[in-house]
Chains A and B, each alone.
Chain A
Amino acid sequence: MEFLIILAVLALVVLFVTRPFWRPDSDRAVAPKDVAELEAARDAKYREIRDAELDVRTGKLSQEDFEAIDRTLRAEAIEILHALDDARGRVNGAARERLPSERR
């Protein structure tokens, strides 16, 4: 009985871990590496902008300092967004190129 249980568990484990080889999950959306990193940088920059706004509203930052910091942060955010647009464009372009060749 115990031997049968062990065999059944072994079979289940083998089937489970090797599933990606015999049924690849091709539809899953995985963010390309540059896009993922830039998205992380973008989210962090947005948080920084919000924090600076909260700091000036709570009196921790002077208006002049805030304006200078806010300008810098937004410029950095725009830079990240541009880089993100470029990265996404490259990924989409590569996907478009791949599609006709796959159809052929």
Chain B
Amino acid sequence: MAVVGRALLILGLLTCAYGIGVSVYGARSGRREWVDSGRRSVYALAALMVCAFAILDVAFLRNDFSYNLVASASSTTTPTLFKAAAIWSTQAGSLLLWIMLLSLWSSLVLFLSRNKVREIAPYATAVLLGFCGFFTTLTVFVHSAHPFATSATPPTEGAGLDPLLRHVTMMVHPPMLYSGYTMLTIPFAFAVGALISRRTGAEWIQVTRRFALAAWLCLGIGIMLGARWSYTELGWGGYWAWDPVENAALMPWLLATAFIHSIMIQEKRGMLKTWNVSLILGTGTMAIVGTFLVRSGILSSIHAFVSNGTLNWAFVALIAAMVVVSIGLVIWRRDQLRSEARLDSLLSREAVFLFQNLVLVALALVIFWVTFFPLISQAITGTQVSVGPPAFRPFVVPLALILVLLSGIGPIIAWRRVTLENLRRSFVFPAAAALATLAVLLLAVGSGASAFAFAMFGCGAFVLAAVAQEFWRGTRARRAMSHEPAPLAFAQLVRRNRRRYGGYVVHAGLAVLLIGVAASTSFQHSRYATLMPGQSTKLDGYTVRYVKPTVAATPARLSLGAVLAVSKGGHPVATLNTRHELYPSQDPSLGPIGRFFNGSDESRIGLTSGFTRDVWTVVNPSLQPLQGLIMQGDRLFTRLERDTMPRVVGLPLAKANAALAPLWQARDRAIAELVARYVNHPWPVTFLMIVSPLVMWLWIGALIVVAGALIALWPIPTLAWLRARSAAYAGRLAREPA
């Protein structure tokens, strides 16, 4: 079926070229059947890519090692769920996923807008097919990006999935990020279409707004799943390392946040047209930059794929083309982008949104600059200067604080203008809540604690109080009008104003999330401890005792672990199990025994989570005491293999396997005996232990953000929308002068 897969890709590429041609011709000539044919090309492309993806995924599930990709990223011992997801752990497989997702989202937006934006849609179709065509070209013509490359002599066993990726979040994290990136190209494409066709009003925004919000949500979920993976899998105890690939997702997310706020001003007031198109063109470009960073490996990252020159230059060309076309279009259509209104007052929600937009863009620019600083320094001085997390903090921390504060001010300030009296009334409760929180913290923790944490707690309290006040006032106003019971009034308020109140929930969630970040980074205690079984150590009031070592040995994995008993004030808190797992390498030069100890490895953390604090541990056992025995085993089994192999050469496979079975059984017994020494003759083991307060609130905050975004995304019920429209029409009849 690899031939069919290859053919589907080539057919997909031809479909892209055809679709671009007919869409542009349809737009220029105004002939609807050409435009319709272009739109159908996108649907056809989506079907082709789903089939191609299915062929490859089935190959993974069937352990078909004749596919190079399957042999390099899967094995017979890889669990089935991870086999299904292993496809996007490879460069070529993830490119195929990118095209499939983009073609599916493009089909969805073009289907939903098939009777609207008829001047913009054909150009948007051409742009979307252009992106699909670019990625399909890579999979067809760049050898390393070819998902259907096969081998005439397939290996009997694959290399297996990278152990670090054998985590449940890795099943969802990449598709979420790719959905975010691909969905961001949709408003980009419609913005280009709007500029070319001179339809720069609110129409294109109405069609793509939900996709921008969905992209923002998917990117956000992807970022948080990545953070969770880092916290529970990478064995360093943190959730954010300012890694270039992490930043690659954060930058478009920040710009998309700015965009979904500023389009409200264009929709309502016809203002900020230039800003909005520039923002979404920048966001779309940044999504491709993010994809490039993951794919190119130009910046050192544990998440990036191996660098490939052809692929890198193709991406650089695409990004350069996007930048040039974007700037050119904005300059070309500057007359169409003039604002229809002016800012009424600096004391208005528009002004707060504008300021918030500037802070978000500044934050994205700072992250861009520091992320790319190693490359910039290399270009200027010839030496790549690496910068770490400390380089981000001086800029990011103050900007993040301003942003949180603005997310509290935005909801309590009205559109257009407010009087000082209204402002005072709206600010009293949130400001009092912020001051009270600060006072309690000062009393509880003392003034010596982190200023950042204090400020974030104060700002967070301000936001939570502001959002609570908004819900309370809205419910009260609705009750006054409808005389409904409070719960019903609350539910109706949210149901009828989903975008507004969903947004407020998102703000509250972000405040909770950032409080978790501030507390867990500022009040964290950590230490390394080297212990023998029965010994204990203390950390932030907790006593951690190394109870016993644990071990497990299978042909697929060796596991050296520890059981730790955590107590506080003599009371048991939790029993933690942490393991260090070793996966065999397929490299024979490491020795018949050594390859089981020197392949890839991963850490399984021991974690007890609570609403107030997490106790996080990881074991890092040294293999040094076993090295002598491993080398001895290598020598012995190399000799045995050398003696046995000539006897099986020329035998049928089944007979050869039967002849070799005693040797492999002896080898497995030897390995089991070796690792058993970790329990029978234990040696001191090093642990990393971390006690972090309020980490749980980071994840709870993220869930609140997701809930809020889903409320805002949920379609307005048709009946309610019709009622709202009818009421507005009634208003026209009642008020329009005769």
Contact = CB atoms under 8 A, between A and B. Distances in A.
A61 B37 contact: no
9 contacts: A2-B7, A9-B11, A9-B48, A17-B19, A17-B37, A29-B115, A62-B422, A77-B732, A78-B732
Contacts of A45: 268
A39 B415 CA distance: 22
A28 B413 CA distance: 44
Nearest to B499: A47
A46 B716 CA distance: 14
A54 to B, nearest CB: 7
A13 B15 contact: yes
B206 interface: yes
B418 A16 contact: no
Nearest to A3: B3
Interface in A30-58: 30-31, 33, 36-37, 40-41, 43-52, 54-55, 57-58
B635 to A, nearest CB: 50
A24 to B, nearest CB: 5
Interface in B17-41: 18-19, 32-34, 36-37, 40-41
Given A46-B725, A81-B732, A33 B199 contact: yes
Interface in A51-71: 51-52, 54-55, 57-62, 65, 69
B473 A40 contact: no
A6 interface: yes
B415 A17 contact: no
Contacts of A24: 32-33, 36
Contact of A50 (B3, B417, B422, B724): B724
A45 to B, nearest CB: 8
A17 B470 contact: no
B736 interface: yes
B36 A20 contact: yes
A34 B480 CA distance: 40
Given A6-B4, A9-B8, A81-B732, A47 B422 contact: no
A62 B417 CA distance: 10
Interface in B192-242: 199, 201-203, 206
Nearest to A7: B7
A87 to B, nearest CB: 13
Contacts, number: 143
A37 B206 CA distance: 10
B421 interface: yes
Contacts of A10: 11
A29 B32 CA distance: 12
A31 B426 CA distance: 43
A18 interface: yes
B294 interface: no
Contacts of B500: 51, 54
B201 A54 contact: no
B74 to A, nearest CB: 23
A28 B113 CA distance: 13
Interface stretch (B82-90, B116-124, B706-714): B116-124
Contacts of A55: 414-415
B268 A48 contact: yes
B1 interface: yes
Given A13-B44, A20-B40, A36 B267 contact: no
B735 interface: yes
B118 A17 contact: no
B728 interface: yes
Closest 9 CB pairs of A and B: A57-B477, A20-B36, A58-B473, A60-B414, A20-B33, A55-B414, A44-B267, A6-B7, A40-B203
B717 interface: no
A19 interface: yes
